[in-house]
Structure 1
Amino acid sequence: MKLSILFALLPLVSAAPANGRPKPRPAPLKYPGLDVLAKRAGLLYFGTAIDNVVLNNTKYVSIAHNRSEFGQVTPSNGQKWMYIEPERNVFNYSMGDAIVKPGIKAGQMRRCHTFVWHNQLPAWLEKGNWTKAELTKVLENHIKNEARHYYDQCYAWDVVNEAFEDNGTWRDTIWLRVLGKEYIELAFKFARKYASPRTRLYYNDYGIERVNNKSLAVAALVKDYVKRDIPIDGVGLQAHFTVGRAPTYENIKASLNLFIKEKVETALTELDVRLALPDSPEKQAIQAEIYANSTKACVDVSDCVGVTVWDFWDPVSWVPETFPGNGNACLLDADFKRKPAYYAISDMLRSYD
């Protein structure tokens, strides 16, 4: 097991028995679940994001909180600013709790997502005429309240999400315009101040799964923060991929190592692989290879602690709405049948057993 896993939050991870392997978890599965296999391969977890819109589907929920399949859960939307603080200093944790609380009951770890982002902000915040001092207070107050509500309930927090453009320049956001580049530093300091000291603090972004201008910019930020003792523990590589344009195993591994050498852990935090519709067996075969190679890259890199898929069921994927003409990005189809991608990950993880 990787050394970074020893730092995992103790109440969130079951102790391993004397033989060193994770304790078998009961589940009505023909094959061991992906989380069981991931732990045997040396990862801390294999997890999934869950959106509130599907919590009325009992079949979906039974799979989402089957901890042999998914040892970690992430609220894909329920902890974002527009839902948590819809009015200034009025907090509503119901959507986040609807995923976190069942995760705790099921014995699953939780990755919490996200304190600071430029999207899904409430109108009062986005349209406010803020001074730097005022917006700093708003930022601290939001992180303070949310971090305290979920105190010691999160293995990790995505503190800041998507602060860079694809070319490695700073993304133009309300945070950058009012607070300047130091808003990221402030967010991490506030997160460390109010979150559990055992919670891992992550920077999270897409398009950094190759060594490119964006990943190099993030690595430079991390290097600077580590040098100056700004509290940062990890980098999340979102890993939203496309059949025909996905990075290779070598690409992902090289990018993961960019951050590992800066003494922070990494994870694939939002893995999915969309394809152009109509679907076909040939496209599914390529999709399966991308899923397996992405997961393998994490297994093979020291201090890449886990993989989270950005939901597991095609009907609730974010892809069709965001990328018209694309879809079928998840591991299970509309009938909850496991697709070739699921079995490719399973077979790859078994090879480490």
Structure 2
Amino acid sequence: MAIFNNSDIFGQTTPGNSMKWEFTEPEQNTFTFSDGEETITLAKATDKKVRCHNLVWTAELPTWVSGGSWTNETLSAVMQTHITKEIEAYGDGCYSWDVVNEALSGSGYTSNVFLDVIGEAYVPLAFQYAEAAVKNAGLSCKLVYNDFGIESPGEKNAAAVAMIKKIQAQGIQIDGVGFESHFSTSYYPTTSDQMTAMKAFTDLGLYVQVTELDVACSSASPDPSELAIQAQAYYDTVSACMQTENCTGMTVWDFDDQYSWIQPSTNDGEGAADLFTADLSPKPAVTAVSEAIEGESCSVCS
């Protein structure tokens, strides 16, 4: 916990699973918020902000939602209740909410129960419900769309821009966009491409953040040359944010390899994606991130 608690290293945190629908409303109208409250308590103890994550997502849904027999009206009501209850429960412990997570696939929408029943309108509707819940509770938290694959120019980035313009056209609150930024040593966008992708959203008056950054290596035991490539990927991403007006934060998706979601057994042999090893030894990427923040050239990159 010493690394997590060090506010010189981390100033905000995101719960990985504890605030997702499957864990907060496992049965209809049966709510449990205790695990998420633990994250908020830990964060408050060291003056960290909490990016609360997430309200509506196609994955990690309880079966009563994903397998239910719904109409537009009944599913919309369920979504409204869930969003409202969760925002009220965590209150000012959240400085922002990922309202909708990963709604897009390529140039279109990801198939899920909300799309199948409500249609594309479920996305602005979720933001509408979130906006109302925030205002009715007297809160001031930001409302965010979060996704992967939008970190460089292309069809998914363009689709996200188009979707957000529709939300804005309806006068519904949306404040920011989260760039998940799950990369690997075999693929990561250039600093220039990431800046272009970010500008597509800041031009809409939104802020952007890097929200789930990690860089997978080809194995759990990368050699020094691959660690230098990993450092370059971290450096380029942090540099893009630092050079983009209204890029307001960067979050890594776990900071040590022991707890990373990227493990060789489940990711085709890939691993070692985080800043620190499983025994909490810093990798070259730690130096690279620090140098990117300071605007210095990378001394450990390839």
TM-score, normalised on structure 1? 0.80
1:179 corresponding residue in structure 2: 118
Q: Which moved more, 1:306-315 or 1:342-351?
A: 342-351
Once residues 197 and 94 of structure 1 are traced to their aligned partners in structure 2, the CA distance between those partners, rounded to angstroms, is: 20
Once residues 216 and 68 of structure 1 are traced to their aligned partners in structure 2, the CA distance between those partners, rounded to angstroms, is: 36
2:231 corresponding residue in structure 1: 288
Once residues 213 and 148 of structure 1 are traced to their aligned partners in structure 2, the CA distance between those partners, rounded to angstroms, is: 36
Once residues 170 and 62 of structure 2 are traced to their aligned partners in structure 1, the CA distance between those partners, rounded to angstroms, is: 33
Superimposed CA distance per residue, residues 156-193 of structure 1 (whole angstroms, 9 cap, x where no aligned partner): 1000000111x211111001001111101111011111
Equivalent residues in 2 for 1:112-127, closer than 5 Å? 112-127=52-67
1:30 corresponding residue in structure 2: none
Once residues 351 and 217 of structure 1 are traced to their aligned partners in structure 2, the CA distance between those partners, rounded to angstroms, is: 32
Q: 1:222 aligns with which of 164, 167, 192?
A: 164
With a CA cutoff of 8 Å and minimum separation of 6, indicate the structure with the bigger relative contact order. Answer: 1
- SS across alignment from 1:88: coil
* 2:211 is the alignment partner of 1:273: no
Instruction: Give me the CA root mean square deviation.
Output: 1.2
1:244 corresponding residue in structure 2: 186
Q: 2:206 aligns with which of 264, 268, 277?
A: 264
2:39 corresponding residue in structure 1: 99
Deviation of residue 322 (structure 1)? 4.1
* 2:7 is the alignment partner of 1:63: no
Deviation of residue 347 (structure 1)? 1.8
Once residues 64 and 127 of structure 1 are traced to their aligned partners in structure 2, the CA distance between those partners, rounded to angstroms, is: 38
Q: Is the 8 A contact 2:257 2:277 kept in 1?
A: yes
- SS across alignment from 1:176: helix
Deviation of residue 334 (structure 1)? 1.3
List alignment gaps of at least 5 residues for structure 1: 1-60
Q: 1:254 aligns with which of 189, 196, 204?
A: 196
- SS across alignment from 1:140: helix
Q: 2:89 aligns with which of 122, 127, 149?
A: 149
List alignment gaps of at least 5 residues for structure 2: 297-302
Once residues 97 and 175 of structure 1 are traced to their aligned partners in structure 2, the CA distance between those partners, rounded to angstroms, is: 27
1:302 corresponding residue in structure 2: 245
2:280 corresponding residue in structure 1: 336
Deviation of residue 197 (structure 1)? 4.3
Deviation of residue 99 (structure 1)? 1.0
Q: Which amino acid aligns with 2:168?
A: V
Q: Which amino acid aligns with 1:103?
A: A
2:295 corresponding residue in structure 1: 351
Q: Is the 8 A contact 2:115 2:122 kept in 1?
A: yes
Q: Is the 8 A contact 2:191 2:239 kept in 1?
A: yes
- SS across alignment from 1:267: strand
Deviation of residue 244 (structure 1)? 1.7
- SS across alignment from 1:336: coil
Identity over aligned pairs, percent: 37
TM-score, normalised on structure 2? 0.94
Describe the shift of the 1:212–1:125 C-alpha distance in structure 2 as closer, same or farther (beyond 3 A).
Answer: same
* Number of equivalences: 291
Once residues 322 and 164 of structure 1 are traced to their aligned partners in structure 2, the CA distance between those partners, rounded to angstroms, is: 23
1:129 corresponding residue in structure 2: 69
